[in-house]
Amino acid sequence: MSTDTHAAGATPAEQALSRLHRITSSRELDFEQRVDAILHLGAEHFGLPIGIFSKITGDSYEVQQAIHPEDALKPGMSFDLGHTYCSHVVKADDVRGFHHVAESEIRSHPCYSNFALEAYLGAPVIADGERFGTLNFSSPQPTRPFTGQDIELVRLFAAWVGHEIARRRDLRALETSRKELERLATTDPLTGLYNRRYMEDCLNRELERAKRYGKPLVVGLLDFDNFKELNDSYGHNTGDAALKLFAKVSSDMMRETDIIARWSGEEFLILMPETGAAGALKYLKRLTDRVRESDFKADDDRVELTLSVGLGLAEADDTRDSLISRADVAMYEAKQAGRETTRIHNKEEG
């Protein structure tokens, strides 16, 4: 017997289950689209044209998604939970249904007074063992009495929504963990700047890009002056505070294309794509001035923090190591020149 023949001979409940399976297993639909499809499926199967997926927080009932013949319900709309039939679902912590409210024990309910909804079928949406909200269907017209299959179906619809919410939370948690591991792998724990490993990868990538497109590229190697004396005089916590200060100042001043990393100890490396020597010198002068002028104190003493800077200008045949080596030589020359200065070591200088 063909599939079509099977479908033709299936009961309405079996057809609804088959449609639910297609909806929930579709790779083409996202979560919101699947919920929308389930709301339409339930509305059609139960004969209740209004379908709502809600979130309940305390006494607040908020519409997450909805279908309505007159498009009268929008995501974000909120109501007092006690004014909705879903309050009965919450109280029972289970499916509740009323096929003719005017002739039921809840005919005095505010929802009937305010909205004249004669029929309602709703189930709690449970995610990770906690109630998230409800999945419910309603109508201004009375409907047939709900069967045991109806109750199981709406419970199944709501269960899938709850499982999917929990799954999405798990996926978000995994993504957050992945990003945190990535951050830890690429970030210096003291300063929050990128670490040397990440910068080396960036150097390789940007150097290749500079060669390919003929763009300038500058690296600046910055080293605190008299850093050992700072640690010896005031302790390593003060030295750490100086490094953190530099990280904050440089991050605040960083241009969109720049990349800054803690290179080693008290050394920092700034990668400046599409920047020539003049632009790099101007930027680094502002940066070192800002650090020097900061109100940095150690044991109530104001300490002036200065840096020596060496620049390396990328050449066509540079490797990462050769470029960094020139910046390192330039920084050494800056130290030799009396510190608190900047030097450029050109390739032709050897």
- Catalytic residue numbers read 266
Close Cβ partners of 212 (under 8 Å, ≥ 6 residues apart): none
CA separation, residue 188 to residues 65, 88, 238 (Å):
43, 54, 18
